[in-house]
Amino acid sequence: MIFSSKAEYGVRLMVELGRQAPEHPTSLKAIADAEGLPLAYLEQVVARLKRAGLVMSARGAHGGYWLARPAEEISMDEVVQALEGAIAPMECFVSDHTERVVCSHGPDGGRGCATKLLWTRVQGGIIRSLQEMTLAELVRFAGGPVVERTALAADAATTPTD
């Protein structure tokens, strides 16, 4: 498996936040119930998103989470990186002190490291496909925004499925 369930849960969480109006925060419990995910585990997931500056939060009663930026300005590349860490196709990929991790293999006895070329291209393919997608796209695909909680059922009844 390429991505862990942290990524799955985190993306679902972001989509759910994208569907909500940002005026009043959404509690984790509401999201956990809606998506059928374990609340305690979601806390750890959302913590990563918060550390990355993708969501903001309010504590106390009626607190919760909301998107730090509009969904149109959030690329899925940021979301997945926040959840999974840097995208490394192979163990030899280590931090380059830049945004992207790179293969640590030096020249293999004067020859080029063959796998380095391969994994670097794969990494590029993944990152590109993630960068080309925004959270807004996923929100639209999931049925668009829902302001009133009660509107969700009606929405579900009329929206065509995939």
Partner DNA sequence: GGCTAAACCGACCGTGGCGCTAGGATTTGA
Partner DNA sequence: TCAAATCCTAGCGCCACGGTCGGTTTAGCC
DSSP state at residue 144: -
| Cα angle, residue 60 at apex, residues 58 and 17 outer, rounded to 5° | 40
> Interface mask (CB under 7 A) for DNA, residues 67-106, using x and -?
------------------------x---------------
CA distance 58 to 24: 10
Q: Is 161 in the site for a copy of itself (CB under 8 A)?
A: yes
Residue 58: Cβ within 10 Å count: 13
CB of 118 to a copy of itself, least distance (A): 6
Work out which of 66, 104, 130, 145 binds a copy of itself, going by CB under 8 A: 130
Q: Is 58 in the site for DNA (CB under 7 A)?
A: yes
Interface with DNA includes 38 (CB under 7 A)?
A: yes
From 11-19, 60-68, 101-109, 131-139, span contacting DNA (CB under 7 A): 60-68
| Contact flag: residue 114 with a copy of itself (CB under 8 A) | yes
Per DSSP, the three-state class of 24 is: coil
Q: CB of 66 within 8 A of CB of 25?
A: yes
Could you say which DSSP state residue 142 is in?
A: T
